[in-house]
Amino acid sequence: MPEARMAAALRTSQAVRISLRYALVCAVALAMFAAILLAAGKDPLKAYADTFTYTLANAYGFSELLVRMTPLLLAAVAVALPSRLGLINVGGEGQLYLGAWMASAGALMFPGLPAWILLPLVVVMGFLGGAIWGAIPGVLRAAKLVNETIATLLLNYIAPLIVSFFIFGPWRAVDSSAYPQSSAFPEAARLPSFFNTRIHAGILISLAVLLAYWLIMEKTRWGVEMRAIGGNPEAAQRLGIPVAVWIVIALAIGGGLAGLAGMGEVMGIHGRLRQGLSPGYGFTGFLISWLAGGRPLGILFMAFLFAIITSAGDTLQITQGLPYSVVNILLAMILFIVLARRPARGTAK
């Protein structure tokens, strides 16, 4: 079939063009960020070189990129799925924390269960925690009461307080007087890790979720209905698509996926519930999804890229004595350039 081959070739050349464009955007953003670092009296070239050697130049660094990609992929799909309906989920951060909290509740309440029950249980509870946190703005939006953007943003500030309440209060481990955290989870609740690195089974969940997202959006009736709502909610309603129900479901599932990211962090890496679980994974997930236009392959590529970029935050902290959050400037620069190049079409609600 020559048409199919031509279409494939066209797609490949398009992918190459898109990749080149993003490489250019990143180069400009890196140059602008370097100028800002220089102005602050820091050494941007050393920072970039250090980031490169810490991440791409050795096997351990590369494994840490995959560790970082695990929550980023989930946080990105958490934004991408509702975005197909025209919904803006900026609550990934809060949903991640609530997922971590619910998963921890499962592990701490049923410490005696065998792994084959406990592990699925904490995964499901992590999903449910995030799903609850996503469903609240979903219901408020579906009932046309509160805009989901502002509701998800506000809930971001409540979820970490719930975590803090529990680790300073009921769940506080007796052996951690200086550093409040929960007691260690039973081994049966921990996600297995691979190759003597911190890469854990969460990466498999992330990739499976990304694949499922692609399948559902491209190959099922659900995907068609969701895109119909995103295109024109009123027309979709007239066609008999239950728009309000879809809004709640999409935000709940999105929240649940961010919750899985939180579950992965506590069950795969920390082994306890702590403060500061996420250096803004939820927000970075929003950027990834937005830059990738919600497309699965784009999300995979962008998550890898942002794993490297956010690693630069660690480098700044370790070698340049700057706070991690300074890397947000670099994220903002990338966004500014993309926004300035690509004018909005139509209206933003």
Residue ranges binding other proteins (CB under 8 A): 36, 40, 88, 90, 140, 143-147, 149-151, 153-158, 161-162, 164-165, 168-169, 280, 283, 286-287, 290, 321-332, 335-336, 339-340, 342-344, 347-349
Of 1 and 348, which CB lies nearer to other proteins in the complex structure?
A: 348
Q: Are 61 and 53 in contact (CB under 8 A)?
A: yes
Residue 39 phi/psi, 5° resolution? -60, -30
Reported residue count of the chain is 349
Of 214 and 324, which CB lies nearer to other proteins in the complex structure?
A: 324
Residue 12 phi/psi, 5° resolution? -65, -45
Minimum CB separation of residue 310 from other proteins in Å reads 12
Residue 115 in tokens: 């792994």
Of 155 and 263, which CB lies nearer to other proteins in the complex structure?
A: 155
Of 164 and 193, which CB lies nearer to other proteins in the complex structure?
A: 164
Q: Are 167 and 273 in contact (CB under 8 A)?
A: yes
Identity of the residue numbered 177: S
Of 36 and 124, which CB lies nearer to other proteins in the complex structure?
A: 36
Minimum CB separation of residue 131 from other proteins in Å reads 18
Minimum CB separation of residue 42 from other proteins in Å reads 9
Helix (H) or strand (E) holding 344: none
Helix 243-264 with 92-109: angle, nearest 10 deg: 60
Minimum CB separation of residue 223 from other proteins in Å reads 23
Question: What DSSP letter does each residue of 233-281 carry, written as one string?
Answer: HHHHHHTT--HHHHHHHHHHHHHHHHHHHHHHIIIIIISS--S---SSH
d(CA 150, CA 294): 21
Of 109 and 161, which CB lies nearer to other proteins in the complex structure?
A: 161
Of 127 and 290, which CB lies nearer to other proteins in the complex structure?
A: 290
Of 162 and 173, which CB lies nearer to other proteins in the complex structure?
A: 162
Of 59 and 344, which CB lies nearer to other proteins in the complex structure?
A: 344
Q: Which residue has the tokens 């890898």?
A: 304
Minimum CB separation of residue 186 from other proteins in Å reads 26
- Measured from the Cβ of residue 320, the count of other Cβ atoms closer than 10 Å reads 17
Minimum CB separation of residue 25 from other proteins in Å reads 13
Minimum CB separation of residue 60 from other proteins in Å reads 27
Helix 44-55 with 296-319: angle, nearest 10 deg: 120
Q: C-alpha 298: how far from its chain's center?
A: 14
Q: Are 259 and 62 in contact (CB under 8 A)?
A: no
Question: Rounded to whole angstroms, what are the CA distances from 273 to 67, 70, 164, 179?
Answer: 18, 18, 9, 12
Minimum CB separation of residue 328 from other proteins in Å reads 3
Rg (CA), the chain: 21
Minimum CB separation of residue 345 from other proteins in Å reads 9
